[in-house]
Structure 1
Amino acid sequence: MPDTRDHDGPKPAHGFRYNRVLLKVSGEVLMGDQAYGIDMKTVGLVAEAVAKVAREGVEICLVIGGGNIFRGLSKAAGDMDRASADYMGMLATIMNALAMQSALEKIGVATRVQSAIPMAAIAEPYIRRRAMRHLEKGRVVIFAAGVGAPFFTTDSGAALRAAEMGCDALLKGTSVDGVYTADPKKDASATRYKTLTYQEVLSKDLRVMDASAISMMRDTGIPIVVFSIREEGSLLRVLKGEGVYTVITNTPEA
Protein backbone atom coordinates (compact mmCIF):
# COMPACT_ATOMS: atom_id res chain seq x y z
CA MET A 1 0.00 0.00 0.00
CA PRO A 2 1.28 3.55 -0.72
CA ASP A 3 2.50 5.53 2.26
CA THR A 4 -0.07 8.29 2.88
CA ARG A 5 1.00 8.97 6.45
CA ASP A 6 1.54 12.57 7.48
CA HIS A 7 5.12 13.72 7.75
CA ASP A 8 6.59 17.05 8.83
CA GLY A 9 5.01 18.88 5.93
CA PRO A 10 6.20 19.72 2.43
CA LYS A 11 9.69 20.81 1.52
CA PRO A 12 9.98 24.48 0.45
CA ALA A 13 8.70 25.14 -3.08
CA HIS A 14 11.75 26.66 -4.75
CA GLY A 15 11.58 27.98 -8.30
CA PHE A 16 7.80 28.29 -8.33
CA ARG A 17 5.85 31.40 -9.18
CA TYR A 18 3.07 30.45 -6.78
CA ASN A 19 3.46 28.56 -3.49
CA ARG A 20 -0.17 28.08 -2.48
CA VAL A 21 -2.82 27.63 -5.15
CA LEU A 22 -6.38 26.50 -5.66
CA LEU A 23 -6.95 24.36 -8.74
CA LYS A 24 -10.47 24.49 -10.19
CA VAL A 25 -11.23 21.57 -12.49
CA SER A 26 -14.53 21.29 -14.34
CA GLY A 27 -16.47 18.08 -13.92
CA GLU A 28 -16.48 17.71 -17.71
CA VAL A 29 -12.69 17.24 -17.67
CA LEU A 30 -13.14 14.07 -15.61
CA MET A 31 -15.35 12.51 -18.29
CA GLY A 32 -12.34 11.89 -20.53
CA ASP A 33 -13.74 10.68 -23.86
CA GLN A 34 -16.98 9.46 -22.31
CA ALA A 35 -20.33 11.16 -22.82
CA TYR A 36 -20.90 11.47 -19.07
CA GLY A 37 -19.76 10.11 -15.72
CA ILE A 38 -16.29 9.61 -14.25
CA ASP A 39 -13.41 8.20 -16.29
CA MET A 40 -10.99 6.95 -13.63
CA LYS A 41 -8.09 6.92 -16.11
CA THR A 42 -8.54 10.66 -16.63
CA VAL A 43 -8.98 11.19 -12.87
CA GLY A 44 -5.70 9.33 -12.40
CA LEU A 45 -3.89 11.60 -14.87
CA VAL A 46 -5.12 14.72 -13.07
CA ALA A 47 -4.13 13.15 -9.74
CA GLU A 48 -0.61 12.48 -11.07
CA ALA A 49 -0.28 16.12 -12.10
CA VAL A 50 -1.42 17.30 -8.67
CA ALA A 51 0.90 14.83 -6.95
CA LYS A 52 3.95 16.13 -8.83
CA VAL A 53 3.48 19.69 -7.64
CA ALA A 54 2.48 18.66 -4.11
CA ARG A 55 5.70 16.66 -3.81
CA GLU A 56 7.65 19.75 -4.86
CA GLY A 57 6.29 21.57 -1.82
CA VAL A 58 3.49 23.58 -3.44
CA GLU A 59 0.45 23.80 -1.17
CA ILE A 60 -2.51 22.87 -3.35
CA CYS A 61 -6.25 22.60 -2.82
CA LEU A 62 -8.91 21.67 -5.35
CA VAL A 63 -12.49 22.42 -6.29
CA ILE A 64 -14.08 20.07 -8.81
CA GLY A 65 -17.31 20.81 -10.64
CA GLY A 66 -20.13 18.32 -11.05
CA GLY A 67 -21.19 18.86 -14.66
CA ASN A 68 -20.07 15.37 -15.69
CA ILE A 69 -22.78 13.91 -13.45
CA PHE A 70 -25.46 16.57 -13.03
CA ARG A 71 -25.76 20.22 -13.95
CA GLY A 72 -28.56 22.23 -12.40
CA LEU A 73 -28.93 24.64 -15.31
CA SER A 74 -29.37 22.03 -18.03
CA LYS A 75 -31.87 19.69 -19.62
CA ALA A 76 -30.94 17.18 -16.93
CA ALA A 77 -32.74 19.35 -14.38
CA GLY A 78 -35.89 19.53 -16.49
CA ASP A 79 -38.53 21.67 -14.80
CA MET A 80 -37.09 20.99 -11.33
CA ASP A 81 -36.92 24.03 -9.09
CA ARG A 82 -33.50 25.72 -9.12
CA ALA A 83 -32.67 25.12 -5.45
CA SER A 84 -33.26 21.35 -5.66
CA ALA A 85 -31.29 21.10 -8.90
CA ASP A 86 -28.37 23.00 -7.37
CA TYR A 87 -28.31 20.71 -4.33
CA MET A 88 -28.14 17.71 -6.65
CA GLY A 89 -25.22 19.37 -8.41
CA MET A 90 -23.48 19.76 -5.05
CA LEU A 91 -23.86 16.03 -4.41
CA ALA A 92 -22.22 15.41 -7.79
CA THR A 93 -19.19 17.46 -6.73
CA ILE A 94 -18.85 15.28 -3.64
CA MET A 95 -18.78 12.15 -5.79
CA ASN A 96 -16.03 13.68 -7.94
CA ALA A 97 -14.09 14.75 -4.86
CA LEU A 98 -14.15 11.22 -3.44
CA ALA A 99 -12.97 9.81 -6.78
CA MET A 100 -10.07 12.27 -6.84
CA GLN A 101 -9.20 11.54 -3.20
CA SER A 102 -9.06 7.83 -3.99
CA ALA A 103 -6.79 8.42 -6.99
CA LEU A 104 -4.44 10.68 -5.01
CA GLU A 105 -4.15 8.38 -2.02
CA LYS A 106 -3.56 5.43 -4.35
CA ILE A 107 -0.30 7.13 -5.41
CA GLY A 108 0.70 8.10 -1.89
CA VAL A 109 -0.62 11.66 -1.52
CA ALA A 110 -2.33 12.43 1.81
CA THR A 111 -5.68 14.00 0.92
CA ARG A 112 -8.64 15.40 2.81
CA VAL A 113 -12.13 16.10 1.46
CA GLN A 114 -14.03 18.92 3.17
CA SER A 115 -17.71 19.32 2.37
CA ALA A 116 -19.75 22.50 2.73
CA ILE A 117 -22.74 20.20 3.36
CA PRO A 118 -22.16 18.09 6.50
CA MET A 119 -21.55 14.43 5.60
CA ALA A 120 -19.66 13.10 8.60
CA ALA A 121 -19.46 9.53 7.32
CA ILE A 122 -17.51 10.40 4.16
CA ALA A 123 -15.92 13.84 4.53
CA GLU A 124 -14.81 16.45 7.02
CA PRO A 125 -17.01 19.50 7.46
CA TYR A 126 -15.51 22.64 5.96
CA ILE A 127 -13.51 24.36 8.71
CA ARG A 128 -11.17 27.07 7.47
CA ARG A 129 -8.47 26.70 10.12
CA ARG A 130 -8.43 22.93 9.77
CA ALA A 131 -8.07 23.25 5.99
CA MET A 132 -5.19 25.71 6.45
CA ARG A 133 -3.45 23.26 8.77
CA HIS A 134 -3.86 20.43 6.27
CA LEU A 135 -2.16 22.55 3.60
CA GLU A 136 0.67 23.51 5.96
CA LYS A 137 1.29 19.82 6.62
CA GLY A 138 1.53 19.05 2.92
CA ARG A 139 -1.88 17.45 2.47
CA VAL A 140 -4.02 18.10 -0.59
CA VAL A 141 -7.44 19.47 0.36
CA ILE A 142 -10.47 19.00 -1.90
CA PHE A 143 -13.38 21.35 -1.22
CA ALA A 144 -16.73 19.80 -2.18
CA ALA A 145 -20.37 20.89 -2.31
CA GLY A 146 -19.62 24.43 -3.45
CA VAL A 147 -20.52 26.99 -0.80
CA GLY A 148 -23.25 24.75 0.60
CA ALA A 149 -26.09 26.88 -0.74
CA PRO A 150 -28.04 26.97 -4.01
CA PHE A 151 -27.76 29.75 -6.61
CA PHE A 152 -23.94 29.74 -6.39
CA THR A 153 -21.75 27.94 -8.92
CA THR A 154 -18.59 25.96 -8.20
CA ASP A 155 -16.71 28.89 -9.78
CA SER A 156 -17.96 31.08 -6.95
CA GLY A 157 -17.07 28.33 -4.48
CA ALA A 158 -13.54 28.14 -5.90
CA ALA A 159 -13.10 31.92 -5.70
CA LEU A 160 -14.35 31.98 -2.11
CA ARG A 161 -12.08 29.14 -0.97
CA ALA A 162 -9.06 30.66 -2.77
CA ALA A 163 -9.64 33.89 -0.85
CA GLU A 164 -10.20 32.12 2.47
CA MET A 165 -7.06 30.00 2.06
CA GLY A 166 -4.92 33.02 1.15
CA CYS A 167 -3.93 31.45 -2.18
CA ASP A 168 -1.38 33.10 -4.46
CA ALA A 169 -3.45 32.17 -7.52
CA LEU A 170 -6.59 30.43 -8.70
CA LEU A 171 -5.73 28.01 -11.49
CA LYS A 172 -8.55 26.99 -13.83
CA GLY A 173 -7.73 23.73 -15.59
CA THR A 174 -9.81 23.37 -18.75
CA SER A 175 -9.68 21.54 -22.08
CA VAL A 176 -8.15 24.57 -23.88
CA ASP A 177 -4.86 26.33 -23.21
CA GLY A 178 -6.17 29.72 -22.18
CA VAL A 179 -8.84 32.32 -22.89
CA TYR A 180 -9.65 32.96 -26.56
CA THR A 181 -11.49 35.67 -28.47
CA ALA A 182 -13.98 32.96 -29.47
CA ASP A 183 -14.41 29.23 -29.00
CA PRO A 184 -11.28 27.78 -30.70
CA LYS A 185 -13.10 24.49 -31.27
CA LYS A 186 -15.69 26.28 -33.41
CA ASP A 187 -13.77 29.28 -34.79
CA ALA A 188 -10.38 28.60 -36.41
CA SER A 189 -9.59 32.34 -36.40
CA ALA A 190 -9.90 32.63 -32.60
CA THR A 191 -6.75 33.96 -30.91
CA ARG A 192 -5.54 33.41 -27.37
CA TYR A 193 -5.13 36.24 -24.88
CA LYS A 194 -1.84 36.18 -23.00
CA THR A 195 -3.13 38.55 -20.32
CA LEU A 196 -6.45 40.14 -19.43
CA THR A 197 -7.83 42.33 -16.67
CA TYR A 198 -10.83 41.23 -14.61
CA GLN A 199 -12.77 44.17 -16.06
CA GLU A 200 -11.99 43.10 -19.63
CA VAL A 201 -13.30 39.62 -18.89
CA LEU A 202 -16.54 41.09 -17.58
CA SER A 203 -16.99 43.76 -20.27
CA LYS A 204 -16.21 41.35 -23.13
CA ASP A 205 -18.41 38.64 -21.57
CA LEU A 206 -15.65 36.07 -22.07
CA ARG A 207 -17.30 33.56 -19.70
CA VAL A 208 -14.07 32.35 -18.12
CA MET A 209 -15.88 32.03 -14.79
CA ASP A 210 -19.16 33.46 -13.61
CA ALA A 211 -19.29 37.19 -12.92
CA SER A 212 -19.45 36.87 -9.13
CA ALA A 213 -16.27 34.75 -9.10
CA ILE A 214 -14.43 37.22 -11.33
CA SER A 215 -15.57 40.13 -9.13
CA MET A 216 -14.36 38.37 -5.98
CA MET A 217 -10.93 37.71 -7.49
CA ARG A 218 -10.77 41.34 -8.60
CA ASP A 219 -11.56 42.54 -5.09
CA THR A 220 -8.99 40.22 -3.47
CA GLY A 221 -6.34 40.72 -6.17
CA ILE A 222 -5.83 36.98 -6.64
CA PRO A 223 -4.79 36.23 -10.25
CA ILE A 224 -6.67 33.66 -12.31
CA VAL A 225 -4.56 31.43 -14.55
CA VAL A 226 -6.41 29.54 -17.28
CA PHE A 227 -4.59 26.60 -18.88
CA SER A 228 -5.18 23.15 -20.35
CA ILE A 229 -5.14 20.48 -17.66
CA ARG A 230 -5.24 17.85 -20.40
CA GLU A 231 -1.65 18.58 -21.53
CA GLU A 232 0.88 16.44 -19.71
CA GLY A 233 3.08 18.48 -17.36
CA SER A 234 1.07 21.67 -17.90
CA LEU A 235 0.24 22.22 -14.22
CA LEU A 236 3.90 22.04 -13.21
CA ARG A 237 4.92 24.39 -16.03
CA VAL A 238 2.25 26.95 -15.15
CA LEU A 239 3.36 27.02 -11.52
CA LYS A 240 6.87 27.82 -12.72
CA GLY A 241 5.63 30.59 -15.00
CA GLU A 242 6.27 28.51 -18.12
CA GLY A 243 4.10 26.96 -20.81
CA VAL A 244 0.96 28.34 -22.44
CA TYR A 245 -1.81 29.99 -20.45
CA THR A 246 -3.79 33.20 -19.91
CA VAL A 247 -3.35 35.29 -16.76
CA ILE A 248 -6.18 37.51 -15.51
CA THR A 249 -5.15 40.25 -13.07
CA ASN A 250 -5.96 43.84 -12.15
CA THR A 251 -3.00 45.02 -14.24
CA PRO A 252 -2.02 43.01 -17.34
CA GLU A 253 1.57 41.82 -17.41
CA ALA A 254 3.91 43.12 -20.07
Structure 2
Amino acid sequence: MLIVMSLGGSILAGDLDPLRFKKYADALLEMSKEHHLLIVTGGGVYARKYIEAARGVGADEVTCDFIGIDVTRLNAKLLIAALGSAAYPEVPQNYNEAAMAMESKKIVVMGGVLPGQTTDAVSAALSEYLKADLLIIPTSVDGIYTADPNVDKTAKKYPVMTATELVNLSAGMSLKAGSKSPIDPIACKLIERGGIRTIVMDGRRLDDLVELVKEEAKGPQKESCGTIIVP
Protein backbone atom coordinates (compact mmCIF):
# COMPACT_ATOMS: atom_id res chain seq x y z
CA MET A 1 0.00 0.00 0.00
CA LEU A 2 0.93 3.61 -0.50
CA ILE A 3 0.15 5.41 2.75
CA VAL A 4 0.22 9.15 3.35
CA MET A 5 0.31 10.18 7.00
CA SER A 6 -0.35 13.63 8.44
CA LEU A 7 1.67 13.46 11.64
CA GLY A 8 0.57 16.30 13.89
CA GLY A 9 3.26 18.44 15.46
CA SER A 10 1.49 18.28 18.82
CA ILE A 11 2.06 14.54 19.11
CA LEU A 12 5.42 14.32 17.35
CA ALA A 13 7.22 17.43 18.58
CA GLY A 14 5.19 18.80 21.46
CA ASP A 15 8.21 19.01 23.73
CA LEU A 16 10.99 18.25 21.21
CA ASP A 17 11.76 15.01 23.05
CA PRO A 18 14.35 13.06 21.00
CA LEU A 19 13.00 9.78 22.38
CA ARG A 20 9.57 10.55 20.96
CA PHE A 21 11.03 11.12 17.51
CA LYS A 22 12.87 7.81 17.80
CA LYS A 23 9.71 5.95 18.85
CA TYR A 24 7.80 7.30 15.87
CA ALA A 25 10.72 6.47 13.63
CA ASP A 26 10.71 2.88 14.89
CA ALA A 27 6.97 2.56 14.19
CA LEU A 28 7.38 3.99 10.69
CA LEU A 29 10.31 1.68 9.98
CA GLU A 30 8.13 -1.29 10.92
CA MET A 31 5.37 -0.14 8.54
CA SER A 32 7.83 0.58 5.73
CA LYS A 33 8.83 -3.09 5.56
CA GLU A 34 5.59 -3.76 3.65
CA HIS A 35 4.35 -0.33 2.53
CA HIS A 36 5.44 2.91 0.89
CA LEU A 37 5.19 5.85 3.27
CA LEU A 38 5.00 9.60 2.83
CA ILE A 39 4.84 11.56 6.08
CA VAL A 40 3.78 15.20 6.41
CA THR A 41 4.82 16.66 9.76
CA GLY A 42 2.92 19.43 11.51
CA GLY A 43 4.30 22.37 13.43
CA GLY A 44 2.62 21.91 16.78
CA VAL A 45 3.02 24.19 19.76
CA TYR A 46 6.30 25.71 18.61
CA ALA A 47 4.80 26.76 15.29
CA ARG A 48 1.94 28.40 17.16
CA LYS A 49 4.38 30.21 19.45
CA TYR A 50 6.32 31.60 16.51
CA ILE A 51 3.08 32.58 14.79
CA GLU A 52 1.83 34.37 17.90
CA ALA A 53 5.14 36.24 18.12
CA ALA A 54 4.90 37.17 14.44
CA ARG A 55 1.39 38.53 14.92
CA GLY A 56 2.67 40.45 17.91
CA VAL A 57 5.18 42.31 15.76
CA GLY A 58 2.58 43.07 13.10
CA ALA A 59 3.11 40.25 10.56
CA ASP A 60 0.27 39.49 8.15
CA GLU A 61 -1.33 36.04 7.99
CA VAL A 62 0.59 34.95 4.89
CA THR A 63 3.88 35.71 6.64
CA CYS A 64 2.62 33.80 9.67
CA ASP A 65 1.82 30.86 7.40
CA PHE A 66 5.35 30.83 5.98
CA ILE A 67 6.79 30.90 9.50
CA GLY A 68 4.62 27.92 10.44
CA ILE A 69 5.75 26.09 7.30
CA ASP A 70 9.39 26.63 8.30
CA VAL A 71 8.72 24.97 11.68
CA THR A 72 6.99 21.98 10.05
CA ARG A 73 10.05 21.48 7.87
CA LEU A 74 12.33 21.58 10.91
CA ASN A 75 10.24 18.81 12.46
CA ALA A 76 10.52 16.90 9.19
CA LYS A 77 14.32 17.18 9.30
CA LEU A 78 14.36 15.84 12.86
CA LEU A 79 12.25 12.85 11.86
CA ILE A 80 14.47 12.20 8.84
CA ALA A 81 17.47 12.18 11.17
CA ALA A 82 15.71 9.69 13.44
CA LEU A 83 14.87 7.42 10.47
CA GLY A 84 18.45 7.40 9.25
CA SER A 85 19.22 5.74 5.91
CA ALA A 86 15.61 4.50 5.55
CA ALA A 87 14.47 8.06 4.85
CA TYR A 88 14.82 10.15 1.72
CA PRO A 89 17.47 12.65 2.87
CA GLU A 90 15.84 15.90 1.67
CA VAL A 91 12.59 17.60 2.65
CA PRO A 92 10.45 18.05 -0.49
CA GLN A 93 9.30 21.63 -0.93
CA ASN A 94 6.28 20.93 -3.16
CA TYR A 95 4.07 18.15 -4.52
CA ASN A 96 6.22 17.40 -7.57
CA GLU A 97 9.35 17.03 -5.45
CA ALA A 98 7.43 14.70 -3.13
CA ALA A 99 6.33 12.55 -6.07
CA MET A 100 9.90 12.32 -7.37
CA ALA A 101 11.23 11.51 -3.90
CA MET A 102 8.76 8.61 -3.66
CA GLU A 103 10.55 6.97 -6.59
CA SER A 104 13.46 6.32 -4.21
CA LYS A 105 11.27 3.76 -2.35
CA LYS A 106 12.46 5.32 0.89
CA ILE A 107 10.27 6.94 3.56
CA VAL A 108 9.61 10.49 2.40
CA VAL A 109 9.12 13.17 5.07
CA MET A 110 8.03 16.72 4.38
CA GLY A 111 6.30 19.65 6.05
CA GLY A 112 3.97 22.36 4.83
CA VAL A 113 3.90 23.71 1.29
CA LEU A 114 1.67 26.72 0.73
CA PRO A 115 0.16 29.54 2.81
CA GLY A 116 -3.42 28.84 3.78
CA GLN A 117 -2.92 25.06 3.88
CA THR A 118 -2.51 23.02 7.02
CA THR A 119 -0.41 19.87 6.94
CA ASP A 120 -3.68 17.90 6.87
CA ALA A 121 -4.60 19.69 3.64
CA VAL A 122 -1.15 19.01 2.20
CA SER A 123 -1.53 15.34 3.13
CA ALA A 124 -4.97 15.13 1.52
CA ALA A 125 -3.74 16.80 -1.67
CA LEU A 126 -0.76 14.46 -1.83
CA SER A 127 -3.01 11.46 -1.28
CA GLU A 128 -5.07 12.48 -4.29
CA TYR A 129 -2.03 13.39 -6.39
CA LEU A 130 -0.17 10.15 -5.65
CA LYS A 131 -3.32 7.98 -5.70
CA ALA A 132 -2.58 6.79 -2.19
CA ASP A 133 -4.41 3.78 -0.82
CA LEU A 134 -4.87 5.30 2.62
CA LEU A 135 -4.55 8.61 4.43
CA ILE A 136 -3.90 8.37 8.18
CA ILE A 137 -4.26 11.41 10.43
CA PRO A 138 -2.80 10.68 13.87
CA THR A 139 -3.90 13.38 16.34
CA SER A 140 -4.12 13.96 20.08
CA VAL A 141 -7.69 12.54 20.14
CA ASP A 142 -8.91 9.08 19.16
CA GLY A 143 -11.15 10.13 16.30
CA ILE A 144 -13.76 12.64 15.16
CA TYR A 145 -16.40 13.69 17.68
CA THR A 146 -19.65 15.64 17.55
CA ALA A 147 -17.88 18.29 19.65
CA ASP A 148 -14.51 18.79 21.33
CA PRO A 149 -14.35 15.88 23.81
CA ASN A 150 -11.91 17.82 25.99
CA VAL A 151 -14.55 20.48 26.53
CA ASP A 152 -17.88 18.73 26.05
CA LYS A 153 -18.12 15.50 28.03
CA THR A 154 -21.30 14.53 26.15
CA ALA A 155 -19.49 14.53 22.79
CA LYS A 156 -19.97 11.33 20.81
CA LYS A 157 -17.34 9.69 18.64
CA TYR A 158 -18.04 8.78 15.02
CA PRO A 159 -16.75 5.23 14.39
CA VAL A 160 -17.46 5.69 10.65
CA MET A 161 -18.58 8.73 8.66
CA THR A 162 -18.75 9.80 5.04
CA ALA A 163 -16.53 12.48 3.57
CA THR A 164 -19.61 14.63 3.00
CA GLU A 165 -20.54 14.36 6.67
CA LEU A 166 -16.99 15.40 7.52
CA VAL A 167 -17.22 18.48 5.28
CA ASN A 168 -20.48 19.52 6.92
CA LEU A 169 -18.99 19.06 10.38
CA SER A 170 -15.94 21.14 9.52
CA ALA A 171 -17.94 24.13 8.24
CA GLY A 172 -17.06 27.30 10.13
CA MET A 173 -13.68 26.18 11.43
CA SER A 174 -10.94 28.81 11.62
CA LEU A 175 -8.47 29.08 8.73
CA LYS A 176 -6.03 31.34 10.54
CA ALA A 177 -2.39 30.30 10.65
CA GLY A 178 -1.75 27.92 13.52
CA SER A 179 -5.42 27.16 14.12
CA LYS A 180 -6.06 23.97 16.05
CA SER A 181 -8.91 21.78 14.81
CA PRO A 182 -9.45 18.03 14.16
CA ILE A 183 -9.27 18.44 10.35
CA ASP A 184 -9.44 21.80 8.63
CA PRO A 185 -12.15 22.56 6.03
CA ILE A 186 -9.79 22.55 3.03
CA ALA A 187 -8.47 19.10 3.97
CA CYS A 188 -12.04 17.87 4.40
CA LYS A 189 -13.02 19.09 0.93
CA LEU A 190 -9.93 17.47 -0.61
CA ILE A 191 -10.72 14.18 1.11
CA GLU A 192 -14.26 14.37 -0.30
CA ARG A 193 -13.12 15.37 -3.79
CA GLY A 194 -10.44 12.71 -4.02
CA GLY A 195 -12.55 9.91 -2.58
CA ILE A 196 -9.71 9.21 -0.16
CA ARG A 197 -10.14 6.52 2.47
CA THR A 198 -9.02 8.26 5.66
CA ILE A 199 -8.60 7.21 9.28
CA VAL A 200 -8.30 9.69 12.15
CA MET A 201 -6.84 8.14 15.29
CA ASP A 202 -4.93 8.76 18.50
CA GLY A 203 -1.34 9.05 17.30
CA ARG A 204 0.06 8.66 20.79
CA ARG A 205 -0.81 4.94 20.69
CA LEU A 206 1.95 3.70 18.44
CA ASP A 207 1.05 0.03 18.80
CA ASP A 208 -2.46 0.85 17.59
CA LEU A 209 -1.01 2.75 14.64
CA VAL A 210 1.14 -0.18 13.53
CA GLU A 211 -1.72 -2.63 14.05
CA LEU A 212 -4.13 -0.42 12.09
CA VAL A 213 -1.83 -0.52 9.06
CA LYS A 214 -1.50 -4.30 9.33
CA GLU A 215 -5.28 -4.74 9.40
CA GLU A 216 -5.92 -2.28 6.55
CA ALA A 217 -3.39 -4.15 4.40
CA LYS A 218 -5.73 -7.15 4.52
CA GLY A 219 -8.50 -5.02 3.03
CA PRO A 220 -10.60 -2.00 4.06
CA GLN A 221 -11.79 -2.59 7.62
CA LYS A 222 -15.31 -1.78 8.83
CA GLU A 223 -14.07 -0.52 12.18
CA SER A 224 -10.84 0.70 13.73
CA CYS A 225 -9.39 2.31 16.82
CA GLY A 226 -10.28 5.72 15.37
CA THR A 227 -12.79 7.21 12.94
CA ILE A 228 -12.96 5.81 9.41
CA ILE A 229 -13.92 8.34 6.73
CA VAL A 230 -15.28 6.68 3.62
CA PRO A 231 -15.91 8.25 0.19
- Give the TM bin, normalised by the shorter chain: 0.7 to 0.9
Amino-acid identity (%): 28
How far the C-alpha of 1:60 sits from its partner, in A, is 0.8
Corresponding residue SS for 1:62? strand
- Is contact 2:12–2:20 with CA below 8 Å preserved after alignment? yes
Larger-gyration structure (1/2): 1
Q: Deviations over 1:200-240 (max 9, x none)?
A: 12222375322121111211111111011111311122111
Map of 1:132 onto structure 2: 102
Matches for 1:1-254 after TM superposition, within 5 Å: 19-32=1-14, 34=15, 38-55=16-33, 57-71=34-48, 75-78=52-55, 79-105=58-84, 109-116=86-93, 126-134=96-104, 137=105, 139-144=106-111, 146-147=112-113, 149-205=114-170, 207-239=181-213, 240-241=215-216, 243-250=224-231
- Is contact 1:97–1:113 with CA below 8 Å preserved after alignment? no
Mind listing any 5+ residue stretches in structure 2 that lack a counterpart? 172-180, 217-222
Mind listing any 5+ residue stretches in structure 1 that lack a counterpart? 1-18, 118-124
- Is contact 2:24–2:206 with CA below 8 Å preserved after alignment? no
Change (3 A) 1:153 1:232: closer
Corresponding residue SS for 1:167? coil
Change (3 A) 1:110 1:142: closer
**2:225 counterpart letter in structure 1:** V
Structure with greater helix percent: 2
Taking only aligned residues, the RMSD between alpha carbons, in angstroms, comes to 2.3
Change (3 A) 1:232 1:128: closer
How many matched pairs?
213
Corresponding residue SS for 1:127? helix
Map of 2:219 onto structure 1: none
Q: Distance in 2 between matches of 1:72 and 1:159?
A: 25
Q: Distance in 1 between matches of 2:182 and 2:230?
A: 13
How far the C-alpha of 1:97 sits from its partner, in A, is 0.5
Q: Distance in 1 between matches of 2:98 and 2:147?
A: 38
Moved more, 217-226 or 182-191: 182-191
Map of 1:14 onto structure 2: none
Runs of 4+ deviating beyond 6 Å: none
